[in-house]
Structure formats: C-alpha cells, structure tokens
A and B are shown apart, each in its own frame.
Chain A
C-alpha cells in the first residue's frame, strides 16, 4: 500500500508539476523564440505601425492552443443523456485552461516590450525631434518627406544622423519598458486577486467544481483505457476463434501434446480475456457502446448491489466478516479439510 501511495503521490505531483512544467517550458520557449527571431522593421511610413504592433500581438495567439480545449469542447457539446450538465464546471474548466495558456503569450509580450524594438518601429513616425535638441534636419521638408525620414529611424543603416537616432531609440525604449512593467504589474495583480482572494468567496462551490472537472478529465482517460483493453481482448478472442475455426484438430492436438499445465494457463488467460470483454462481443455492440458514450452519458451513480454482489462472492471464500462456525474450503484444487475458525475482536 505504501509503495502504491508513494507512486501515486509521485504521479499526481508529477501531473500537476507536469502541467506547471509545460507552462514553464512554453514560457521559456517563447522568450527564446523572441531572441532568435530577427526583427527587421520595414522603415516605411505605411507599414511600420502594422509590423511593430502585429509582431507584438499575433505570435502570442500561437501559444494559446492547448490540448485540454478538446475536453472542454466535448463536455460542452455533448447531449444531456442521463447526466446533467453543470455550467459552473464548464466555466471552471474554461478559466483554468485560459490561465495556463496565457502564461507564454504574456512572456512574449513582456519580453518584446522590455526590448523596445516593436515600439520603436511602430511609433517612430510620431516623434517630435525638437525634444532631443535643436536639429535642423527637418527644416524645409514637406509633411510626407518628414514622415519618411522619421520612419527610417529604426533602421540603423538608413538613417544618417546618429545622435537623433540614439536619442530617439533610448526615449522610445524607455516608454516601451514602462509599458512592459505596467503590463507585468497588471497581470500579477489580477493573478493575485484571483488566486489569493478567491477563498473568500464560494469556497465550497469551488471544491465541488474542482472535483468534477478533474473527474471528467480522468473519466475520459479511463474510458480510453477500457476501450484499449477491450480492443486487445476482442482481438485476442477473435484471432483465437479464427484459428480454432480454420484448424480445429491441429489446435486440439497441440493442447494434448503440451500437457496439462499449458492448458490450465491457457484456460485462465481465456477466462480473463472473456471477462475483459464484459459481454461486448460484436462490432455492432461496440459501435453502440461508443455512440452512447457521447449521446447518452451514464448517470453519476454506482450500483450498490454490484458492489455487494462482489463482496458476497468473497465472503464465501474468505475468512472475513462476523460469521461464526465452520468455513468450508470452496476450491476444487485443495482437498476438503474442515477447520474451525473463531472470530474475535481485539
């Protein structure tokens, strides 16, 4: 039990830390991608703004996709069947997916704001050169020419007046960094308000939605596992039957030759495979199972009789319970000996 507990603790911690690790890796990946990406401003009045702001906003959308979205979509779209839909659970799943997938885009946006190149590209045409000193560069130019000149500021090789360029770069970078820090502050504050202040409101409902959203996730995994097991057993039995049909005599001969032990193991395997099939033995039945899983999900109520039935089966063969008297061994392999069994509570 201890070993299982430790393993499960590790796995569960692994699952949570796995998701957190994925978030961290995506964040690092987005920072790395930004540093690898070669930013090249077009340096033309018509395209600067689009390029600068576009590069700030569009790449983050690529990070928003998450494979948990399919679980949410399935739960949202399914017909009601025998199980009611709870909108709070859908909301909770949506919120947690959103929170996780917003980390990498936030990292991209803050890194690019701290770097300042996007802002420089987008807003160089809005600069007021007079602020940086008395420069006579702009005298005697038409409006269009002024704009074209300002648009070339982000490109080092195209703009001749280095002192203006340096001053403008530093100025816009400073504004960009201020925006970046404000953005980080806002994100941290909102995360703080959501995570730390939430226990003040509806904690009981939160426990419930957390449990059932995790349940939906795990039920899907269990169903996939059960289908895989069933498919495996189905295939085994199907192939076994095929061989039996094609060459029945050879199969029997093979069994006689190899002796009793093999037949015992073979019988046991066959029985466990049959059990794993759970009575679903035809293609149409399986299709019905798969169709009903989506259109008519079962209610969240386990039958107690089923559990008790299994317990009864064990009572007959086990030394458990409060019954007094003789217990007979029910196995046909062990010789029937009678033992007196006393039950005492210590």
Chain B
C-alpha cells in the first residue's frame, strides 16, 4: 500500500509523465472507438464519398479537441498567457513551449485514428467503388434492372441481395483496396511520415542540446514545470484553508449559541492530546486569513498581481532557538 502511494505520488508530482500517460490512453481509446464503431457505407452513389470523408475527418477533430481538453497544460498555458504582469515578468518562451507540447500531444490520437482507418481499408472500398470500371470483372449482375453506377455503389455492402453467390463483389473490393493503396501511397506515406515526424520531434529533444542553446531550453522546461506545480499547490492550499476555515466557523457558531459563558480549562503542558496538536496545525494553515473579505482580496491579488519569484524571506526566516542551562551554567540542551 505504501509502495502504491509512493508510485501515485511520483506520477502526480511529475506532470509531464501524467500528460504522456493521458495522451497514450487517448490514442488507445481512439483505436477502441474505431473497432467498436460499426462502419456502414450507405451504398448510394451520391453519399458514399461523403460518408467516407466524414468518417475520416470528423472523429480526428473530436479527438484533437478532447486531447486539448484533458491536458492540464492547456489551463496553465492560458492562465500564464492571459494574466496581468503584476510583480512577475512574463516569459513568452515558456508559453510557446507549453503550447507546442500541448499540440504535439493532442495530435497523437487523431493521427492514430486516420492511420487505423486507412489500414483497415473499408473506407477506400466505400469511397472508390463507384469509380471502378466494371468491364474489368466478370459476373456483373445485370438482371436487377439497376444502373451500373448504382450496382457499383452497392459493392461495399456485403449483405445486399444482388451480390449473393457472386464473386464479382469480392473481386472489385480487393481491386479497389490494392489499387488505392498503391495509388494513394503518397497519401499513406505522407501520414506515415507525419508519425515519423512526431517521433522525430521527441527524438529531437535528445539531440537538441547539441544544436541549440541548451541552457535556455533547460530554463524553459524548468519554469513551465514550475508554473504547473505552483498552480497545483495554490489550489491545494486553498482547499486546506477552506477546510480549516469551515471547521473554525462551525465551532464558533456552536460556541456562540451557548447561553452561559463557560471558562475553558487551561490545558496543562504535558497532557495535550492529539486534538490540540491538530488545532495548532490548523491555525498555522489559516495563515491569518480569517474573513471573507480577506480571502476575496487574497484570491484577487493572486490573479492580478502574482508575487515575484523570490523566496529568500521564507527560506531564510530567523528561527527561534532555545538553549536550556542548569543553575551552574552548564548547557543541557540547545537548538543552535
């Protein structure tokens, strides 16, 4: 259980690995979506091409927007871009880095969908069966009274009754898929190369230091991760503060209701139970912010005027040290 908590904490602390994990999950979801989607070509001359184009284009758009939505970096980037300058100067390189990382990750699932669609081949048969010359094949069913175009449009539909006991349909399908695979190899290669490009971009991170200003890119990565962590910690602190505020408010309400003033007994030093320690820590976490107006002011200032990146004051805060001496002046214990 401890190990699981540690693993979870590691994943939660490293926001890049979370984003990568979500991106991969979305790609798997797109594959699963394609396999569970019941591709049914309309088998009508006017609609075949439209349907195929729709299946090829609309789901990738949806997957792209989903990829942008589930990525945490989107919110961080938008906030950093839109905030007023305040006490902290803005670094456009960080925003650019976050934007490119977000776009790269969001493009993976749509590419996977397009790749899977093309590899499957049903979309080719649906779109291009009408353009095949039926004279190349024997066994064209000519007793139905339908136009040739309409018959060719029905090729993608296996269940159609006019193709029963006929090898015509299978021959045309196979021809279409192979023909289009070779004819449209350039499209295929383009998409495949896009996949290569994506992997090259990630490889590029490895070789970039040798060609680029390594120091700048290190800085950009550091500060973009910092922004993410800072936002998470702010939200966490707000949650903790709200919890303590609520607890104190409720206790205060109960105590206000009592009729007679009851003196609270002073707690002896060595008999403090765990509840007292809990209250100590609670008051620390309130940080002196204990009114609605103060909280509103704090939140307003956090957005309009973010603090400068300088924690010298907190990091080197003077610490009270205690030294215990006995009557003779011998040091018994010292914090120094």
Task: Note all chain A residues with C-beta closer than 8 A to B146.
Answer: 133-134
CB nearest to A206 among chain B residues: B303
Asked if residues B160 and A329 are in contact (CB atoms below 8 Å), the reply is no
Chain B residue with minimal CB distance to A304? B290
**Chain B contacts for A330, CB-based, 8 A:** 268-269
Total A-B pairs, Cβ < 8 A:
246
B136 at the interface (CB under 8 A from A): no
B258 contacts A280, CB within 8 Å?
yes
Q: In whole angstroms, how far apart are the Cα atoms of A105 and B246 in the complex?
A: 34
Q: When the two chains form the complex, which single residue of A167, A278, A339, A340 contacts B255, counting CB atoms closer than 8 Å?
A: A278
Determine whether A18 belongs to the interface, using a CB cutoff of 8 Å to chain B. no
* A170/B41 in contact, CB under 8 A: yes
Check A163 against B160 for contact (C-beta < 8 Å).
Answer: yes
A-contact bits for B295-321, CB 8 A (1 contact / 0 none): 110011011100000000000001111
Asked if B323 is at the interface of the complex by the 8 Å CB criterion, the answer is yes
**Contact in complex: A185, B319 (CB < 8 Å):** no
Known: A200-B78, A310-B279. A331 touches B296 (CB 8 A): no
- Docked CA distance A114–B300 (Å): 46
Query: A215 contacts which chain B residues (CB < 8 A)?
Result: 242, 245-246
Question: What is the bound-complex CA distance between A182 and B61, given in angstroms?
Answer: 11
A residues 272-298 near B (Cβ < 8 Å) are 272, 275, 278-280, 285, 288-289, 292-293, 298
Interface size on A, residues (CB 8 A): 97
Interface centre among A13, A133, A182, A189 (most CB of B within 10 A): A133
Closest to B325 in A: A340
Decide yes or no: A331 and B269 within 8 Å by CB, A203-B83, A288-B257 being known contacts. yes
Cβ contacts under 8 Å, B273 to chain A: 268, 272
Among the interface residues B5, B242, B245, which one has the most CB atoms of the partner chain A within 10 A?
B242
Q: Which of A203, A211, A306 contacts B238 (CB 8 A)?
A: A211
B39 vs chain A, min Cβ distance (A): 9
Question: Which of A1, A6, A174, A331 has its CB near the most chain B CB atoms (within 10 A)?
Answer: A174
Pairwise interchain contact A174-B257, C-beta atoms closer than 8 A: no
Residues of A within 8 A of B (CB): 1, 4, 6, 8-10, 12-13, 114-116, 131, 133-134, 162-163, 166-167, 170-171, 173-174, 177-178, 181-182, 184-185, 188-189, 191-192, 195-197, 199-200, 203-204, 207-208, 211, 214-215, 218-219, 221-223, 226, 230, 268, 271-272, 275, 278-280, 285, 288-289, 292-293, 298-304, 306-307, 310-311, 313-314, 316-322, 329-334, 339-346
13 other A-B residue contacts (CB within 8 Å) besides A188-B65, A222-B249, A341-B323:
A6-B9, A12-B236, A13-B8, A163-B161, A173-B38, A208-B300, A223-B250, A300-B291, A302-B290, A302-B291, A333-B270, A344-B336, A346-B318
What are 19 inter-chain pairs, A to B, with CB distance below 8 A? A10-B8, A114-B37, A163-B160, A163-B161, A166-B161, A167-B43, A181-B58, A199-B82, A207-B303, A218-B242, A292-B253, A300-B245, A300-B292, A302-B245, A317-B267, A317-B269, A339-B326, A344-B323, A345-B318
